[in-house]
């Protein structure tokens, strides 16, 4: 019998592309997309869709029973920049949704859980270069605190209750299908849209802010790989470091200029600069590479070429 999957937060930046990929892999009818509203009509019409509030335990439970769901991908969250504006809302959504899903798994209703963590678990006291898997985590953002605490709970539910929960610490994710919402790394998506639409971009991070990043195809690949791995290969039950590329705003601008010589970049750092400054510049993900054969495909040049090609089609059609 096929596994039935529920994606919570399916209309978000990662959820949108994850839904498509999981439907390719498992069949459209075996993947239930859900979100708090129907803002993405394309996704709503592409297969089973349920309106679901990630903070409502009974709604998630009923959905799992009705659709015989045994696997959940919990993608709903308030990200770093939004979390600083609405701290209690970020805590409420990010923590309660996780507890709801972990408790459903503890009760046996759900067999497998994917929950994303983030480079935001790190803080100013973390080693900034090649940040190890096991290191100091003293996050200074509400988002980072929720992810760090969430990691501890994931490991606890695995160790104490045998819950099969798997997680990766996503870096900034760059994609062209759905916009990110409220993150510190969002500049690296906005820049491509503005390059095509306006030929210029004003970065809210300073030119030398080096952050770990990844193209969406790699992020989806990592997510499906870790979920397909045999349980005994998953040696980290908090969250895996995951890495592909690191670059600064200046370097991404240079990569765009290589294809669009007239592109202009200016810099006006705002409150997100302090968040970025508290995060590492590069990540050591050797444990993920060893445990479940993770490897990335996209470097900065290849990603820029793909982003510009796809966005030209989008805006110029
Ligand atoms: N992209 C996220 C953010 O900037 C990091 O996980 O908040």
Residue 317 predicted with pLDDT over 80: no
Distance 68 CA to ligand 1 centre (A): 32
Q: What are the residue numbers of the active site? A: 143
pLDDT of residue 281: 98
Map out the domains of the chain as residue ranges: 5-171, 173-213+244-316
Distance 118 CA to ligand 1 centre (A): 7
> Which class is domain 173-213+244-316?
alpha beta
Measured in whole angstroms, the distance separating CA 247 from the mean position of its chain's CA atoms is 18
Mind listing the pLDDT tens digit for each residue in 59-87? 999 999 999 999 999 999 999 999 999 99
Do residues 245 and 304 touch, judged by C-beta distance below 8 A?
no
Mean predicted lDDT score pLDDT of the chain = 97
pLDDT of residue 306: 98
Record the tokens describing residue 261, joined without a space.
């010589």
Taking the complete model, does pTM exceed 0.85, yes or no? yes
Our answer on whether the CB atom of 275 is closer than 6 Å to any ligand 1 atom is: no
Level-2 CATH architecture, domain 5-171: 3-Layer(aba) Sandwich (3.40)
Beta-carbon contacts of residue 60 (< 8 Å; ≥ 6 apart): 6, 8, 52, 54, 72, 100, 101, 104
Our answer on whether the CB atom of 170 is closer than 6 Å to any ligand 1 atom is: yes
Mind listing the pLDDT tens digit for each residue in 257-280? 999 999 999 999 999 999 999 999
Residue 1 predicted with pLDDT over 70: no
Our answer on whether the CB atom of 216 is closer than 6 Å to any ligand 1 atom is: no
Residue 218 predicted with pLDDT over 90: yes
Residue 99 predicted with pLDDT over 80: yes
Mean pLDDT of 124-150: 98
Place of tokens 């070429």: 305
Mind listing the pLDDT tens digit for each residue in 221-253? 999 999 999 999 999 999 999 999 999 999 999
Strands 168-170 and 240-241: parallel
Mean pLDDT of 200-221: 98
pLDDT of residue 280: 98
- For atom 1 of ligand 1, which residue has the closest CA? 172
With pLDDT > 70 as the criterion, what percentage of the chain qualifies? Answer: 99
Our answer on whether the CB atom of 19 is closer than 6 Å to any ligand 1 atom is: no
- Three-state DSSP class for residue 169: strand
Beta-carbon contacts of residue 217 (< 8 Å; ≥ 6 apart): 297, 298
Distance 185 CA to ligand 1 centre (A): 6
Distance CA 188, CA 305 (A): 14
With pLDDT > 90 as the criterion, what percentage of the chain qualifies? Answer: 94
């Amino acid at each position: 019998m096929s596994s039935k999957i529920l994606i919570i937060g399916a209309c978000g930046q990662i959820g949108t592309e994850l839904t498509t990929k999981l439907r390719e892999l498992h069949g459209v009818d075996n993947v239930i997309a859900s979100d708090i509203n129907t803002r993405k009509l394309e996704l709503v019409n592409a297969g089973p869709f349920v309106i679901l509030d990630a903070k409502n335990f009974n709604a998630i439970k009923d959905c799992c029973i009705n659709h015989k769901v045994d696997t959940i991908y919990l993608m709903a969250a308030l990200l770093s920049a939004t979390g600083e504006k609405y701290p209690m809302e970020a805590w409420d959504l990010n923590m309660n949704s996780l507890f709801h899903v972990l408790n459903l798994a503890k009760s046996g209703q759900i067999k497998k859980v994917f929950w994303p963590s983030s480079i935001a678990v790190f803080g100013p006291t973390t080693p900034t270069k090649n940040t190890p898997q096991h290191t100091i985590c003293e996050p200074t953002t509400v988002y980072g605190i929720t992810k760090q605490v969430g990691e501890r709970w994931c490991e606890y539910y695995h160790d104490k209750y045998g819950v099969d929960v798997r997680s990766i610490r996503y870096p900034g994710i760059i994609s062209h299908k759905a916009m990110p919402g409220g993150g510190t790394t969002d500049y690296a998506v906005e820049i491509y849209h503005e390059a095509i639409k306006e030929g210029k971009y004003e970065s809210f991070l300073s030119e030398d802010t080096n952050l770990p990043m990844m193209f969406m195809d790699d992020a989806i690949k990592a997510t499906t790989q870790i979920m397909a791995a045999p349980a005994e290969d998953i040696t980290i039950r908090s969250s895996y470091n995951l890495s592909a590329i690191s670059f600064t705003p200046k370097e991404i601008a240079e990569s765009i200029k290589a294809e669009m010589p007239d592109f202009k970049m200016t810099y006006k750092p705002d409150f997100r600069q302090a968040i970025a400054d508290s995060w590492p510049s590069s990540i050591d993900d050797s444990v993920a590479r060893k445990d479940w054969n993770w490897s990335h495909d996209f470097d900065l040049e290849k990603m820029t070429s793909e982003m510009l090609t796809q966005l030209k089609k989008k805006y110029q059609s």
